[in-house]
Amino acid sequence: MQSPVEMGQEKRCAAVSSSTTGNSVGVVSKKTPPQGDDAPLYRHVLNAQNRLIEQQATLIDRLTVNTCTDVALKKPTDITDILRQKSFKIWSLAFLMVLVVVALSLVFYLPLSLSPNPSSPIIPSSGHSDDLGDGIQIIQRHEWSARDPLNVTKISEPPKIVRIMHTAGFKCNSYQKCATQVLALQGWQVSSQGMPDVAYNYLIGGDGNVYVGRGADVQNEWMPNAIDIVYIGNYLSPYDQLTDKMEKAGRRLIARLRAEGKITQDYVVIAQNQTVNTQSPGENIFKEIIKWPHYDPSIYF
């Protein structure tokens, strides 16, 4: 919206423009020019006055064009005024941040909508065939609604290394939540990280159950000569803690793998931070696995 000053300026521009349109050279006098000896002097004065009037008119035209051009340039549209407001810029930045968060959320959670929901929780007393005792179950891929891997690379011989890590994400405390989280991990790692399947051989949830990832016969994503077992959650010092059931699940899974010949008899247990520069599996897991049979403190970089 224009201010009163701007509106007045526009009116003055229009008035000056109309007044200077056309022939700008005025006429000094309509009297009959003198004759005789005074005629040359009269014509000289008349020409000088006409040149002066012409120069004045040209100057007025130039001033009028510059002033009115400035007004036109300075007159913003409504959208320009809005864009110049600081509050609008702040809200625009906030809106952009919301769009980024929504986009990232879609990338992470969209795979969930593309796969069937996990099946109903399996109750330990139902006689699950892969029960490890004390209510610890091995949840097969179809039980957490895994999608088929894009490709697989088989393990050629039983690995000697069992590597323990954590996801560094949220901990789950029920079958339904853990199955959903494993499915989300698979979707994110396949869709966004370019992996053919969920990265790990096995996952252990906060419910104390073991979730089959790639399994014991397929190479994991990062260390093909090892079995990768990951605990779901963040086990750095101030965060999640292992329950007794979760700790037992890790040890009993390893014992099962050894008994079935999926790892060597002289296997070693190590932490992920013994193989790469990382804090995984976190202090709250590390302080437990150093007590496990076959723990090896060596560095495997």
Full 3-state SS string of the chain: CCCHHHHHHHHHHHHHHHHCCCCCCCCCCCCCCCCHHHHHHHHHHHHHHHHHHHHHHHHHHHHHHHHHHHHHHHCCCHHHHHHHCHHHHHHHHHHHHHHHHHHHHHHHHHHHHHCCCCCCCCCHHHCCCCEEECCEEEECHHHHCCCCCCCCCECCCCCCEEEEEECCCCCCCCHHHHHHHHHHHHHHHHHCCCCCCCCCCEEECCCCCEEECCCCCECCCCCCCEEEEEECCCCCCCCCCCCHHHHHHHHHHHHHHHHCCCCCCCCEEEEHHHCCCCCCCCHHHHHHHCCCCCECCCCCC
Q: From CA 250, how far away is CA 224, in angstroms rounded? A: 19
pLDDT of residue 53: 73
pLDDT of residue 69: 52
Residues of the chain with pLDDT under 70: 1-46, 59-89, 103-127, 129-130
Residue 161's beta-bridge partner residues? 226, 268
Q: How far, in Å, are 10, 19, 141, 149, 207 from residue 245 at the CA level?
A: 83, 96, 21, 29, 8
Q: Is residue 253 within 8 Å of residue 229, measured between CB atoms? A: yes
Q: What is the pTM of this model?
A: 0.62
pLDDT of residue 55: 72
Q: From CA 35, how far away is CA 133, in angstroms rounded? A: 136
CATH superfamily of 115-289: Peptidoglycan recognition protein-like (3.40.80.10)
Q: So where are the chain's domains? A: 4-75, 115-289
Residue 162's beta-bridge partner residues? 227, 269
pLDDT of residue 28: 46
Q: From CA 140, how far away is CA 144, in angstroms rounded? A: 7
pLDDT of residue 21: 47
Q: From CA 218, how far away is CA 173, in angstroms rounded? A: 27
